[in-house]
Amino acid sequence: MNAAPTNTAPMNTAPMTVLNTADTALPAAARECERIGRTAGLAAGLAAVLVGRDVAAIAPGRYAAVPAAPDTESPGVRRHSLADREGIVFAECQGERPPASTDLAEIGALLAAVRLGVMRHLLDLAVAHLSERDSGGEPLIRKQLVTGAVADVIAGVELLREQALAQRDPVALGDLHTRIDDLGWQTAKLFGASGYIADHPARALYVSALCANTWSGREGAGE
């Protein structure tokens, strides 16, 4: 996808949510993260995941995705044209990177929940889009192949939600995020060609994958 760079990242104006991520509270925290991702967007969800955490101390790689802030023009911040549109930047984390930790596993699980919430929002938009387009005298959403594709995404979201709560191993969480990537591309295809342009809301699926690259247990995370 090609996009013209922008100079100003949109700021997240959603209220800050402080999450209790103790083992017994993680499912509730994940549900809240998914809700925020669905209703307020990727930047608001990422902010909820990272609030109260020392990003520079726990990020697994040299760069970490964070919500845009007033000081995001500093030399230690990388920009991406699509991420700018979602209010996300990539902050440099200097020094030797720490080993995998409980904090990092929690971030991986909660970020997965945010990403699934973003996907559910895009799926809502896709169903509305398909309901407005006709083929052969009936809405596309009534076509068997289209209905099956939507059902596959819904089933995938339900499955990955349960798996995210069950994982604590960073490598396994990295694999989970890769599966969320794949499900995101299935969702983007429901929009047809419009799902692959920078001005379309489906860009959030691509940016969420970039965020996962910096926070998951994937090989080369944050590089």
Place 3 in a pLDDT band, splitting at 50, 70 and 90. very low
Strand (E) or helix (H) holding 168: none
Instruction: For 8-158, list the strands marked E by DSSP.
Output: 63-67, 77-78, 88-92, 134-135, 138-139
What is the pLDDT, as a whole number, of residue 2?
38
Mean per-residue pLDDT, 110-123: 97
Place 98 in a pLDDT band, splitting at 50, 70 and 90. confident
Place 100 in a pLDDT band, splitting at 50, 70 and 90. confident
- pLDDT tens for 31-85 read 999 999 999 999 999 999 999 999 999 999 999 999 998 765 677 899 999 999 9
Place 168 in a pLDDT band, splitting at 50, 70 and 90. confident
Q: What predicted TM-score, i.e. pTM, was given to this entire model?
A: 0.84
Question: Mean pLDDT score of the chain, rounded to an integer?
Answer: 85
What is the pLDDT, as a whole number, of residue 24?
54
Q: What are phi and psi of 130, to 5 degrees?
A: -70, -30
Q: Would the pLDDT of 13 be above 60?
A: no
What is the pLDDT, as a whole number, of residue 73?
65
Between 86 and 164, residue with greater pLDDT = 86
* Tokens linked to 20: 């209790």
The answer to whether residues 198 and 3 touch, using CB atoms and an 8 Å cutoff, is yes
